[in-house]
Structure 1
Amino acid sequence: MRINFSKLTEPTQWLVDVFNRWENNPDLIPLTRPNLNQAALERHDTMTLDDLKQRLEHHHTYLIYLDDQLVGEMNYMVDPDHLYKKEEGTAWIGITIGEPAGRGKGIGYQAIQFLEEEIKKAGLIRVELGVFEFNTHARKLYEKLGYKEIGRIENFTYWADKMWFDIRMEKYLLKDE
């Protein structure tokens, strides 16, 4: 099993199609975007090539490969408005393992470590993320990597017939000696 990461610099229509497939996968929708109700869970979003190009203006995006197969993507943005703790110089991270073949193999763990190194190279030392309360698997991963809960936003997303918190977590990255 070989895992590697590649910075996305040249978006293609093929990537747009893959991202749209992941974005509209009913198994992933509850995990990757906040939803206000059942109808929002069933909504389909479509990204265009121009949308992806615009996204790259604000997101540092990396593709995740398992044995040369694209299985996911991860990204960070700097100081977005939705930070829980408004601390300048903060990277907000996101990760999606879009292909079932990439899940349950420790790829998320390696991917976050890689992303943290890229964030440090950019001169940032604080990382913040949000994880939905019901996504216990992801929360355990983040805790294992040293992330600590800093707050909760009530009634943030709908899933399984109820509203759930968004749990905000942070980690300060140690500068290399």
Structure 2
Amino acid sequence: MNIHFTRLLTPTPSIVKAMNRWENDSTLIPLVRPNQDQTGLDRRTELNQQDLIKRLQDHHIYLIYLDKQLVGEMNFMVDPPHLYKYEPGTAWIGITIGEQEGRGKGIGYKAISYLEEQIKNEGLKRIELGVFEFNKQAISLYKRMGYSEIVSIRDFTFWQGRMWSDIRMEKYVNG
């Protein structure tokens, strides 16, 4: 099993197609974007190459490969406005293991470790992330990797007929 990562610089049609598949996967939607109600969960989006090129203006995006198969993506933004605890030099991270073949193989751990190295190389000192309270597997992973909870934002996202909290976590990586 060969896991490797590449920085996305030029989106191709096949990359756009994969990202659209993940963005619209009903099993992933509750995990990767907040929804206010069932309508939000049912909403589908369609990215095009220009959308992804625009996203690259404020996101550092890395593709996750298992052998030669694209299985996910991870990204970070620097000092975005949605940080809970604003400290200059903070990266906000996100990760999606989009393909079933990539799940349950430790790729998330390796991907986050790689992303942390890229963040350190950028000279950033802090990472913040949000994870929905029902995503126990992700919360456990982040805790094992040294992230600590800073706040729980109540009634943040809708899933399975009710509202759930967004758990904000942080980790200092430089200094």
What's the TM-score once normalised by structure 1's chain length?
A: 0.97
Q: What's the CA shift for 1:174?
A: 4.0
Gapped regions of structure 2 (runs ≥ 5): none
Residues 42-65 of structure 1: CA deviation (Å, up to 9, x unaligned): 100111111000000000000000
Counterpart-to-counterpart distance in 2, 1:150 and 1:98:
27
Tell me what 2:168 maps to.
168
Residues 54-113 of structure 1: CA deviation (Å, up to 9, x unaligned): 000000000000011100000000000000001111000000000000000000000000
Counterpart-to-counterpart distance in 2, 1:123 and 1:88:
11
SS in structure 1 of the partner of residue 123 of structure 2:
coil
Q: What's the CA shift for 1:160?
A: 0.7
Alpha carbons 2:126, 2:174 under 8 Å: kept: no
Counterpart-to-counterpart distance in 1, 2:66 and 2:174:
28
Counterpart-to-counterpart distance in 2, 1:142 and 1:34:
19
Q: What is the identity, as a one-letter code, of the residue corresponding to 2:75?
A: N
Tell me what 1:70 maps to.
70
Residues 137-158 of structure 1: CA deviation (Å, up to 9, x unaligned): 0000000000000011111100
Q: What is the identity, as a one-letter code, of the residue corresponding to 2:159?
A: W
Counterpart-to-counterpart distance in 2, 1:165 and 1:12:
36
Q: What is the identity, as a one-letter code, of the residue corresponding to 2:128?
A: E
Tell me what 1:117 maps to.
117
- Asked if residue 6 in structure 1 is aligned to residue 6 in structure 2, the reply is yes
Counterpart-to-counterpart distance in 2, 1:174 and 1:50:
34
Q: Aligned-pair RMSD on alpha carbons? A: 0.7
Counterpart-to-counterpart distance in 1, 2:33 and 2:151:
18
> What is the 5 A alignment of 1:150-161?
150-161=150-161
Q: Which stretches of structure 1, 4 residues or more, deviate above 2 A after TM superposition?
A: none
Tell me what 2:89 maps to.
89
Tell me what 1:103 maps to.
103
What's the TM-score once normalised by structure 2's chain length?
A: 0.99
Q: What is the identity, as a one-letter code, of the residue corresponding to 2:111?
A: A
- Asked if residue 27 in structure 1 is aligned to residue 13 in structure 2, the reply is no
> What is the 5 A alignment of 1:28-43?
28-43=28-43
Q: What's the CA shift for 1:40?
A: 0.7
Q: What is the identity, as a one-letter code, of the residue corresponding to 2:93?
A: I
Q: How many residues align?
A: 175
Counterpart-to-counterpart distance in 1, 2:46 and 2:69:
23
